[in-house]
Chains A and B, each alone.
Chain A
Amino acid sequence: MQQKHGNIMRDPRVFRGIASSQPLKFAVSPVLFMSLSEEPTTRAVGPKQVRRKLRARTPEAVQGRKHVNVQTESYLEELSDIPEVKETECQTDAFLDRPETPIFLAAKTGKDAATQIYEGDLFDFEEEVQPILEILVGKTLEQSLLEVMEEEELAALMAQQRAFLERRNNELPEVHRLQEQERRRREERERRMAEQRRALEEEQEVAEKIAARALTQQQLADLVPSVLASLRREGYFYDPVERDVETHFFPRLMDDVESILQKNCRARELLDGQTLCFICWSLWFGNLVCFWFSNLECGCECCSSDLFVGQRGLTT
């Protein structure tokens, strides 16, 4: 049955005004209300508010009686002041995140296919281990090869040295021997040449000596007579008696002669001197008597000779 919806503004159940002003009147169920107001609404007269005010009401209760509301329906309904309140709450979850947009999955098309992997399909040990083994073995071999090569390098260096020494020892003694041989032969040759030269020189010397001797002999052949002649000429061959007379006798003789002559001369000189002295003395006597006396005592010879010389100087 379609109920007529009243205007919410004119619904008596909606309380208007302050909550503390009047107690609530009995709420009239909407069914009752509608049924009550079903017929009159078709014949409504006047505005609604007026109609409500002028509506016929139940007469007042007789004294001692009270009107009581009674339910006369078939089913009793519990009436209470307190309306049946059922509280239901509805609350959205606090801070519920917006769920993510589901990934768009295209609708599946095509055929389904299945597959299964068995042992040995993905991983084969024998195959996989090969490169690892190769690397391991290769690296080990490489290292060992390098070590061996290093040792060989050192050994090769030493072998090279030894080979060089051998070659050197092969050639060197031969060279030394030949050098020594050459030296010996050269020395021998030089010795022999020196000997030869010496022999030649000696021979030459001998020849020269012989020639010189011949020449000298030739030259000296007539040397002796000429020498003797010149010696005789020089007076080296002398008569000893004559020489003796000449060297010893004659000088003595001459000396004696000379001394005698000298004596004569001297005597004459003395005489001359004396004469002059007397002459001078008579001239100088007045002033220098004492001096001449003293001089006279020391010796007539010196004063007279002095005087003599002085006088000679004067006179000449």
Chain B
Amino acid sequence: MSRDSDAPPAPVAFGRWAVPLLAEQLRLPGRDVRLRALAALIDVLRQPLRGPEALTEGFLQQLKVLLEDEDPCVRAKVCQLLHVLAAHTCGRQALLAASFLPPLSQLLEDPPCRRTVFLLLSRLSLHSSGRVSLLTLLPKLMKKLQEEEEEEEDEVQVLFLSLLRCCFQADPEAALRSDAVALLAPKLSNGALNICKAAAAAMMALSVPMGGKVEVCDQKVLPAVAALLQEEDEEAQLNATGVIMFAAVTTAGKLQCLHLNVLPVLLKLACDRHEDEDMRRRRKPLVMNSVRGLTMLAETPEGRRLLQDQLPLLRRTSEEEEDVDIQRVFETAIQVVTFTP
């Protein structure tokens, strides 16, 4: 991470006095002194085993006070420092225990700190307790989603959407209650591919519960998802097939998907063979998602009819496949296609 301000870092004492002395300097009134001390702290705490030295109660309280400082540079630096601290497990736990989330949620509106705060929150979400705590931020994030401006950079948007995805995975019901599907739908047809991908991932998380599936079908999200399916990017295809796979469980979803002519695309994705081992391993989730989508669609009469024509291709692909999981999924699909009441 580059240093935004051009102040050289403060001199660092040796050994175990480094952090306490720098912490003392943080209490001094001058802005420059604090900036320099923060820069020095970031350098010190980035070294491998020195991060947890700073996890004393007083220091964290001090950082919390500094998060509400008037100077944006100071706030940005404190966020960077917290990001460095969150690289360790004990750091993450300490941050969660010291209830840093309310001041951090205030900083989400602050332009210089936003990106760092998102990175920090995504690191915090690596813990299950972190994800649960992040759910407290959910109302604020939903509000932010509602009033999203277009001038933000793509990276920040992508980070924001991935954070939303974590929250949705933890508790999709709460998100659905706040109309998440309707708010997220415009993002799917947004310009940049990254944003579409991240939005599709979030939508996939939302469409896991039944209510979500119903809403996805109601809100006419599937056309945008089908458009995303045509992209060349693997992750975009993966997320799109995921959404389709979950949404096609309901009858309405199935019919919409058939109507959008998704079946041939899924078939192509599922039966596309690659010789390269790595490529195949990378594409495994994509193949599985596509085949599951096909299975869902094969439960409709029309889908079954279309797939019965393609049955030899499916059988052949299933036999050629070495991976046990994919074989099992193919077999399920074939079972559903050849089902007779």
Assembled-state Cα–Cα distance A261/B290 (Å): 116
A5 CB contacts on chain B under 8 angstroms: none
Residue B269 is within 8 A (CB to CB) of chain A in the complex: no
A170 CB contacts on chain B under 8 angstroms: 285, 288, 292, 325, 329
Which of A147, A149, A157, A173 sits near B292, CB closer than 8 Å? A173
Residue A177 is within 8 A (CB to CB) of chain B in the complex: yes
Most B Cβ at <10 Å: residue of A165, A174, A176? A176
Binding site for A on B (CB under 8 A): 47-49, 87-88, 123, 126, 169, 204, 208, 242, 245-246, 249-251, 285, 288-289, 292, 295-296, 299, 325, 329, 332
Assembled-state Cα–Cα distance A165/B168 (Å): 13
Which of B87, B88, B245, B285 sits near A173, CB closer than 8 Å? B245
Residue A202 is within 8 A (CB to CB) of chain B in the complex: no
A179 CB contacts on chain B under 8 angstroms: 249
Residue A166 is within 8 A (CB to CB) of chain B in the complex: yes
A40 to chain B, nearest CB (A): 107
Assess the A150–B87 pair: CB atoms within 8 A: yes
Residue A27 is within 8 A (CB to CB) of chain B in the complex: no
Assess the A177–B47 pair: CB atoms within 8 A: no
Assembled-state Cα–Cα distance A147/B246 (Å): 40
B47 CB contacts on chain A under 8 angstroms: 143, 147
A173 CB contacts on chain B under 8 angstroms: 245-246, 249, 292, 296
Assess the B250–A158 pair: CB atoms within 8 A: no
With CB as the reference atom, state the residue of chain A lying closest to B127. Answer: A157
Assess the B285–A154 pair: CB atoms within 8 A: no
Assess the A169–B48 pair: CB atoms within 8 A: no
A244 to chain B, nearest CB (A): 79
Q: Mark A153-182, 1 if CB is under 8 A from B, else 0.
A: 010011001000110011011101101110
Which of B126, B285, B292 sits near A174, CB closer than 8 Å? B292
Supplied contacts A157-B126, A161-B126, A169-B285, 12 more A-B pairs, CB within 8 Å: A146-B48, A150-B48, A150-B88, A154-B87, A154-B126, A166-B285, A173-B245, A173-B246, A174-B292, A176-B249, A177-B249, A177-B299
Q: Can you report 6 residue pairs joining A to B where beta carbons are below 8 Å apart?
A: A150-B87, A154-B87, A161-B126, A165-B169, A169-B288, A177-B249
Which of A158, A176, A184 sits near B246, CB closer than 8 Å? A176
Assess the A158–B126 pair: CB atoms within 8 A: yes
**Chain A interface category by residue count:** 20 to 34
B289 CB contacts on chain A under 8 angstroms: 169
B285 CB contacts on chain A under 8 angstroms: 166, 169-170
B49 CB contacts on chain A under 8 angstroms: 146
Assess the A174–B242 pair: CB atoms within 8 A: no
B10 to chain A, nearest CB (A): 22
Assembled-state Cα–Cα distance A180/B329 (Å): 18
Which of B169, B242, B292, B299 sits near A181, CB closer than 8 Å? B299
Assess the B208–A172 pair: CB atoms within 8 A: yes
With CB as the reference atom, state the residue of chain B lying closest to A160. Answer: B126
A177 CB contacts on chain B under 8 angstroms: 249, 292, 295-296, 299
Assess the B250–A180 pair: CB atoms within 8 A: yes
Assembled-state Cα–Cα distance A177/B248 (Å): 9
Assess the B249–A143 pair: CB atoms within 8 A: no
Most B Cβ at <10 Å: residue of A157, A158, A180, A181? A180
B192 to chain A, nearest CB (A): 22
B242 CB contacts on chain A under 8 angstroms: 169
Assembled-state Cα–Cα distance A165/B125 (Å): 14
- List A251-289 residues whose CB lies under 8 Å from chain B: none
A174 CB contacts on chain B under 8 angstroms: 292, 295, 332
B332 CB contacts on chain A under 8 angstroms: 174
A150 CB contacts on chain B under 8 angstroms: 48, 87-88
Assembled-state Cα–Cα distance A170/B208 (Å): 12
Most A Cβ at <10 Å: residue of B87, B249, B251, B292? B249
With CB as the reference atom, state the residue of chain A lying closest to B325. Answer: A170
With CB as the reference atom, state the residue of chain A lying closest to B242. Answer: A169
Assembled-state Cα–Cα distance A154/B119 (Å): 12
A172 CB contacts on chain B under 8 angstroms: 208, 246
3 smallest CB-CB distances across A and B, nearest first, come from A146-B48, A176-B249, A157-B126
Assembled-state Cα–Cα distance A146/B48 (Å): 6
Assess the A143–B48 pair: CB atoms within 8 A: yes
Assembled-state Cα–Cα distance A179/B208 (Å): 13
A28 to chain B, nearest CB (A): 97
B46 to chain A, nearest CB (A): 8
Assembled-state Cα–Cα distance A184/B285 (Å): 28
Assembled-state Cα–Cα distance A143/B46 (Å): 11
Most B Cβ at <10 Å: residue of A147, A158, A161, A174? A174
Q: Mark A231-262, 1 if CB is under 8 A from B, else 0.
A: 00000000000000000000000000000000
Assembled-state Cα–Cα distance A217/B88 (Å): 94
Assembled-state Cα–Cα distance A184/B250 (Å): 10
B72 to chain A, nearest CB (A): 27
